[in-house]
Amino acid sequence: MPEDSSLMPDNRNLLSVALLQLHIEWHNPETNLNRAEQMMGGVENKDVILLPEMWASGFTMKAHHYHSYTESALSAMQKWSKEKNALIIGSLIKKQADTYYNRLYAVSNGEVIAQYDKKHLFAYSGEDRFFDAGAERKLIDYKGWKLSLNICYDLRFPVWCRNVDDYDVSLFVANWPDKRISAWDSLLQARSIENQAYVLGCNCYGVDAWHNNYSGHSAIYGYDGAQLDYLENREGVIHYELDKQALTQFRNELPFLRDRDNFILQ
C-alpha cells in the first residue's frame, strides 16, 4: 500500500478545518448517517473535518445494541476521507471482545490512522458502567501539525489535557448538553489559554432520549484564548484556517509553556 502523503511532514503553515455541528437523533443511526452525508456534501477544501461524539447513535448507554452500526458509520468516514481528501475525526461505539469503548477514529485516505479510547468516562450518566476507559493519550502528526485527540468529558481535566508534548491543536468531540454548556464554553477557552494551542470543540445539536437539549456551541479558539468561530442553536458547519506561523510567533514572544508544571499522570 502506498504511504499516505497526508501524514508526511510538509511544514505547512495553514491548516483548514471544519466542525460539523450535526443534528443528532438519539438511537436513529440511519437518520444521523444520512444527515452527516448531506452535510459532508457541502464541505470542500478542508484538511480536517470533525464530527461530534457518538455521532451515529447519540451518547447512549445502550452499547450492546448500537455498536452494530459502527461498521457502516466507520465505512462512511473512510469514504468521506477519500472524497474530501481530508482527515475525518469522530467517535463511535466499539465492541472489542466483551468490552465496549467510546472510541475516536481518525481516518485519512480511507484508512484508520489513529484511534483513541475515551479516558474520562462520565459516571453521572453511567458511562463507566457500560464502557471501559482508555489508558493512553493520543497525539498524531498530520501535514506537519501535531494534533491531540480527546472526547467530551476529558475537557474537564487539565492535567490530562496539559500540553507537555508541544501539540499545536487540541480536538474535542462531544455531546455536551445545555444544562452545563457554560462550563463547555469556559473550559474550551481555558484549555487554549493554558496550553497556548488552538482548541476545536465539536458539539452536537438536538434533543436526546431523556429530553436534554443540545444547542451546540461548537467553537474554535486561538492559541491566546480568542474565540475565532462559534455556532449555536442550529445544525451547521463552522470553518477556519489555522496559522502555524502565528502560533509559533506567539509562543516565542510569550513563552509561558517553559514554566509549566511537571504533572505526573498515574
Using the predicted structure, report yes or no on whether residue 12 has a pLDDT greater than 60.
Answer: yes
Return d(Cα 22, Cα 154) in angstroms, integer.
20
β-partners of residue 216 are 232
Does domain 13-254 correspond to CATH entry 3.60.110.10?
Answer: yes
Q: How far is CA 87 from the centre of its chain?
A: 11
The C-alpha atoms of residue 206 and residue 65 are separated, in whole angstroms, by 21
Q: Which residues are catalytic?
A: 53, 118, 152
**Bridge partners of 151?**
173
pLDDT for 175 beyond 50: yes
Residues 212-226 pLDDT 10s: 999 999 999 999 999
Instruction: Classify burial at 59, counting beta carbons within 10 Å of its beta carbon; exposed 0-12, middle 13-18, buried 19 or more.
Output: buried
Q: Say which DSSP state 139 is in.
A: E
pLDDT at residue number 262: 80
> Tell me: the pLDDT tens digits for 103-114?
999 999 999 999
Yes or no: say if 46 and 239 are a contact pair by the CB < 8 Å rule. Answer: yes
pLDDT greater than 80 at residue 179:
yes
- Gap between the Cα atoms of 36 and 174, Å rounded: 15
pLDDT digits (tens, 9 = 90+) for 56-104: 999 999 999 999 999 999 999 999 999 999 999 999 999 999 999 999 9
pLDDT in tens, 116-138: 999 999 999 999 999 999 999 99
Question: Which pLDDT band holds residue 11 (cuts at 50, 70, 90)?
Answer: low
Mean residue pLDDT of the chain comes to 95
For the residues 33-54, what does the mean pLDDT come to?
A: 98
